[in-house]
A = this chain, B = another copy of it.
Amino acid sequence: MALISPSRRIRRTMFSEGVEAAGVKAYTVYNHMLLPTVFKSVQEDYHHLKEAVQVWDVSCERQVELRGPDAAKLMQMLTPRDLRGMLPGRCFYVPIVDETGGMLNDPVAVKLAEDRWWISIADSDLMLWVKGIANGYRLDVLIDEPDISPLAIQGPKADDLLARVFGDAVRDIRFFRFGMFDFEGRSMAVARSGYSKQGGFEIYVDGEDKGMPLWNALMEAGRDLDVRAGCPNGIERVEGGMLSYGNDMTDDNTPHECGLGRFCDTQTAIGCIGRDALLRVAKEGPTKQVRAIDIAGEAVPPCDRVWDIEVKGKKVGQVTSAAYSPDFKTNVAIGMVRMTHWDDGCEVQVRTPQGLRDAVVREKFWA
């Protein structure tokens, strides 16, 4: 692996000081910001995540804030998910599509009030699309990126840790709901959510001045819980089938191809810009779709480009993320597979940099 060159353009976060003190070894760049990827090792971080509790600097999940009379209308224009039943205090995972139904982002929408929303984005400058649409349709809404940085608390001991800092009421937060909690006099949204299957929370830290104080408070409070700095784990997220925009889907893909059809209410999502394009795909279904792929043999190298999935030398799909899983003792992978070969148990081959490997398509992910 090569080094990453520092520059202001690759933004540091309000928690970078803590991340560095914890001995971060590698980063990726996400929304023009540093996102840690390795502390001790991907494997060691993986085991620890499943056993204890980690604090993740996911500031790179930037917020696009919509405020004003047309905020809810604009939000519905962005997604084929019907938002009419969504109450303040709820988080919705929302595919965002362009006029062709292509995925532009797969964020979590946070409804603060009827006229105030956050879109907690994956890796694309979604604010540019939102601003362009708002401008073109002359909507009465303000759009900006507030000084909000999510800090994720993930792992089986997340409830115990967070209760020590915010009080036992955090234990009552339901999945994909949030409540407002106080830290040093600052009110912050705390949601039960996060990019792992180990459970936990995301704190929408409001204001850089509270960043390191909160980081330090969590580290201090969790000492006997073996709390550590962590990050989204490249093995655990594939086991759990958590998709990554830019890896497992791009603007070439519809939500249905990404297996996100259940988050699309294309018939009733009136106003959604991609609705017309998606009506047919919603009815007929996609011709390829995201699947779990079980790749046999020794550990595969990092998946830094697509690997073709083949049957008798003919391409039937592609692998987009892969890692060796210590717990499942196989290479877990995410890929997009044509309908002719997407059934559970279908035997295929994957063209890895180390040659062709036998593999099996699975309907379900591992965790």
Q: Is A8 within 8 A of B247, CB to CB?
A: yes
Q: Is A4 within 8 A of B1, CB to CB?
A: yes
Q: Is A10 within 8 A of B27, CB to CB?
A: no
Q: Is B99 within 8 A of A128, CB to CB?
A: no
A317 CB, nearest partner CB in chain B, Å: 14
A70 CB, nearest partner CB in chain B, Å: 13
CA distance A5 to B273 in the complex (A): 35
Q: Is B129 within 8 A of A6, CB to CB?
A: no
Q: Is A2 an interface residue (CB 8 A)?
A: yes
CA distance A260 to B188 in the complex (A): 40
CA distance A28 to B126 in the complex (A): 21
Q: Is A305 an interface residue (CB 8 A)?
A: yes
Q: Which residues of B contact A99 (CB under 8 A)?
A: 131, 135
A159 CB, nearest partner CB in chain B, Å: 29
Q: A2-B26, A132-B136 are known contacts. Are A8 and B98 too (CB-CB below 8 A)?
A: no
A319 CB, nearest partner CB in chain B, Å: 9
Q: Which of B3, B4, B12, B129 is close to A132, meaning CB atoms less than 8 Å apart?
A: B129
Q: Is A340 an interface residue (CB 8 A)?
A: no
Q: Which residues of B contact A98 (CB under 8 A)?
A: 131, 135
Q: Which residues of B contact A1 (CB under 8 A)?
A: 3-6
A281 CB, nearest partner CB in chain B, Å: 19
Q: Is A184 an interface residue (CB 8 A)?
A: no
CA distance A135 to B132 in the complex (A): 8
Q: Is B304 within 8 A of A7, CB to CB?
A: yes
Q: Is B128 within 8 A of A104, CB to CB?
A: yes
Q: Is A236 an interface residue (CB 8 A)?
A: no
Closest to A122 in B: B9
A interface secondary structure, majority: loop
Max chain B CB contacts within 10 Å: which of A2, A136, A302, A305?
A: A2
Q: Is A242 an interface residue (CB 8 A)?
A: no
CA distance A9 to B273 in the complex (A): 25
Q: Is B27 within 8 A of A4, CB to CB?
A: yes
CA distance A325 to B189 in the complex (A): 47
Q: Which of B6, B25, B135, B273 is close to A133, meaning CB atoms less than 8 Å apart?
A: B135
CA distance A198 to B4 in the complex (A): 26
State which residues 88-103 of A face B: CB under 8 Å. Answer: 98-99
Q: Which residues of B contact A221 (CB under 8 A)?
A: none
Q: Is B8 within 8 A of A25, CB to CB?
A: no
Q: Which of B2, B305, B306 is close to A24, meaning CB atoms less than 8 Å apart?
A: B2
A117 CB, nearest partner CB in chain B, Å: 17
Max chain B CB contacts within 10 Å: which of A3, A133, A305?
A: A3
A134 CB, nearest partner CB in chain B, Å: 8
22 contacts between A and B (CB under 8 A): A1-B4, A1-B5, A1-B6, A3-B25, A4-B26, A5-B27, A6-B303, A7-B321, A8-B303, A8-B304, A8-B320, A8-B321, A9-B244, A9-B247, A12-B305, A32-B123, A99-B135, A104-B128, A126-B128, A132-B135, A135-B136, A136-B137
20 new A-B contacts, CB < 8 A, other than A5-B26, A7-B302, are A1-B4, A3-B3, A3-B26, A3-B27, A3-B38, A4-B27, A7-B304, A8-B303, A9-B123, A9-B246, A10-B28, A10-B304, A32-B246, A124-B125, A125-B125, A129-B129, A129-B132, A133-B135, A135-B273, A136-B137
